[in-house]
Amino acid sequence: MKRKLVKQGAATLMVSLPAKWLKLHKMGKGGEVDLEEVDDKLVISSGALETKPETKIRLIELTESSIRTLITNTYRSGFDRIYVEFENENQFKVLSKVLKTRLVGFEVVKKEKNRCVVENITEPTAEQFDTIIHKIFFNVSEIFSITKSRMNGSKDAFDFDDVEERIQKYDNFCRRVISKREHRGPKSEFLWTFLALIVHGQREIFHLNKALEGVKVSQKTKELLEGSSAMFELIKKAYFEKKIELLAEVHKMEKDLIYIKGYSLLQKAKGKEAVIVYHLMTSIREFYLANSPLCGLIF
């Protein structure tokens, strides 16, 4: 519906609210409404207290990835309370670990035989969204730094698992905020895809570290790692500085790193080094694909 603006005083414009809507929400003179800017829209809501959205899930498999995928996507979807049914204590142990390592602010608040309640306890606010995004990028740079040191033979203890867990936590939180539409920036669909590709790219570097133990890699493989790292840093700079022209270089890098250096190296690599090269090439491909939704974000 359309309503005309009515001038009230020297600088104030007013609009009337539909009587049907006011009656539905039991609002009258002296009541309060919430106003929220969403892109070019002004959203008016009744401000009524909402109950926490909740859902039920059932764990069937014991596989960690199956349980992780189920609970993580329930969290990302925006539910604040999750009733979980499980068949045995091993499933509950896996669930507890996923909560600890993948979800921010969610805990088991009640447990009975073969069931429990998982609830939002200390989740960060949506206002911290941009800070969490910065943390994702910082930790991806950190996992690259760790990988370079390990590939160059450093004997220092590096806990790349901790870095990976932080990235997954931060990524899940950001996707949850986007899903709940609490992130009011434009083009959230581009941001969702962009984050997914960045995190998938770093995930390949994480798996690379698992295969790196006791392996001496060639200089060419080290150079491919440097290339993947450089591409990520270029994408990071383009994201924060909103410079579309930087992405032209990403296309050039992808052609060189994949089709020239990567293919040649993959044909020559043997044993675990071939696995490492595979993960590097996949990371480069994921970072390269991230430049497409990033274009949408910058425009």
Over residues 137-179, the pLDDT tens digits come to 999 999 999 999 999 988 887 889 999 999 999 999 999 999 8
Query: Which residues share a beta bridge with 119?
Result: 81, 107
pTM over 0.85: no
Looking only at the bridges linking them, the beta strands covering 81-85 and 54-58 are parallel
Domain range 126-298, its CATH number among 1.20.58, 1.25.40, 1.10.10, 3.90.480: 1.20.58
Domain boundaries, the chain: 6-45, 54-120, 126-298
pLDDT digits (tens, 9 = 90+) for 192-208: 999 999 999 999 999 99
Query: Which of residues 287 and 28 earns the better pLDDT score?
Result: 287
Which residues partner with 84 through β-bridges?
Answer: 57, 116
Q: Give burial (CB, 10 Å; 0-12/13-18/19+) of 127.
A: exposed
CB 197 within 8 A of CB 209: no
Instruction: Using the predicted structure, report yes or no on whether residue 39 has a pLDDT greater than 90.
Output: no
**Is 6-45 a domain of CATH 2.50.20?**
no
Six token digits for residue 111? 């447990």
247-254 and 271-298 helices cross at what angle (nearest 10)? 150
Task: CATH number for 54-120: choose from 3.40.449.10, 3.30.110.20, 3.40.50.620, 3.40.190.10.
Answer: 3.30.110.20
Structure tokens at 291: 């430049």
Domains 6-45 and 54-120 share a fold: no
Nearest to 43 by CA among 184, 221, 161, 233: 184
- At 123, list the tokens: 């989740």
